[in-house]
Amino acid sequence: MSATRSSAPAYDLLAPLQPPTRYLFGPGPSMVHPRVYQALSKPIVGHLDPFFIQVMQDVQELLKRIFGTKDASILVISGTGSAGMEAAVSNFVEPGSKFAVFANGYFSDRLTEMAKRQGANVVRLEKPWGETYADAEISEFIRRERPSVVGYVHAETSTGALQPGRAICAAAHEVGALVIADCVTSLGGLAVDFDQTGIDIAYSCTQKGLSCPPGLSPLAISPRAMDWLRAKTTPSRSWYLDIKLIHDYSTVSHRYHHTAPISMFYALREALQVIAEEGVENRWDRHRRCHRFFVREIEAMGLRMHVPTEFRIPTLNTVVVPAGVDEPKVRKRLLDGPGIEIAGGFGPLAGKIFRIGVMGPLATEDNVQFFLKEFRKALSAEGYSI
């Protein structure tokens, strides 16, 4: 008598994937346009297929307007914003070179750590988290240190502070230094002005101001920085993030370097097309209007902002937690109730601020009113009298 075989698998099957509905009012990821989800579902082709090469070229051309450049080389790194950061550092910061960092938040600290791992001599000008730098102190620091490369964060996600870059770039170029700008939270939501500011290397991500899923990191590289890179005789310490090789694959010969995430490029192309149809300047103006409305309503509730008016990021609002309110409990009420995600502070700002993103599809007055109504409820439930 033969044994019967069971057709049932020897393991438990998972339930069908059903993510909860969320309203992403945090610092990122942001909400994604339905057209971008549709683009993600398109059939993939090979990463050397002429169709995909054209998709990459479309993305590069669309990104130029958003970075604010006519002459920069545009690349898209297969990896999140931190991969873009590491690509910038590993290609342009050499062992033993001096790297000057304007340190006023978490992501300037990450820049510092990456540069140290490259063997650089890192010097830092320190400010409390949320403060920005005046032109005079910028010039004095750079002239004193005379670095090879300068790094700063344009829009600091951990604090909500916007650091203007023109004085940094001007002082750096005076001493012959290149400038790396972290534009992770600014690109797509406000002007980067790459050419006018004088930035040499800017990196960003897809999941904040561009309203696309995370997974790619756009880079803009000035002609000056590309000339420096071409003249460099030692290879990048990172093979995967070697900008020379990536530039050759994506722009010049299209020879194989790595298998690019095809569907993510489809998504980014569609997200950029959505922005182009709205108009870049119209998009920036929409975010500014929503930010001003948000701040007026927040202040009417008796709350205050962490950053002074002139240095606030329009897409990322940092609201001071009122005395006696348990910040994590407010966030939990928002998530468990209406499904709203916001973030708290961390590092020296842990428990002290709410980080509230108003970007992409959520940057409308109706959506802001919806958020504020639920925010009032959550604060009141935790004992705050409005």
pLDDT in tens, 241-288: 999 999 999 999 999 999 999 999 999 999 999 999 999 999 999 999
pLDDT digits (tens, 9 = 90+) for 367-386: 999 999 999 999 999 999 98
| DSSP-derived secondary structure letter, 29 | S
Where a domain ends, among 276, 299, 321?
A: 276
Q: How far apart are CA 373 and CA 278, in angstroms?
A: 28
| DSSP-derived secondary structure letter, 349 | G
pLDDT digits (tens, 9 = 90+) for 326-345: 999 999 999 999 999 999 99
pLDDT digits (tens, 9 = 90+) for 91-111: 999 999 999 999 999 999 999
pLDDT digits (tens, 9 = 90+) for 127-168: 999 999 999 999 999 999 999 999 999 999 999 999 999 999
CATH of the domain at 50: 3.40.640.10
**Is 213 in contact with 40 (CB distance < 8 Å)?**
yes
Residue 283, SS3?
A: helix
Closest listed residue to residue 166, CA positions, set 152, 185, 184: 152
Which residue type occupies 219? L
- Verify that 213 and 286 share a domain, yes or no: no
Residue 16 lies in a domain: no
Residue 10 lies in a domain: no
- Verify that 172 and 46 share a domain, yes or no: yes
- Verify that 116 and 216 share a domain, yes or no: yes
CATH of the domain at 356: 3.90.1150.10
Which strands form 343-344's sheet, in the order they lie side by side?
Answer: 316-320, 353-357, 343-344
**Is 257 in contact with 245 (CB distance < 8 Å)?**
yes
Q: Residues near 292 by Cβ (< 8 Å), separated by ≥ 6? A: none
Q: What is the pLDDT of residue 11?
A: 77
Greatest Cα pair distance, the chain, in angstroms, is: 92
Residue 255 lies in a domain: yes
Tokens of 137: 């102190």
Tokens of 153: 């964060």
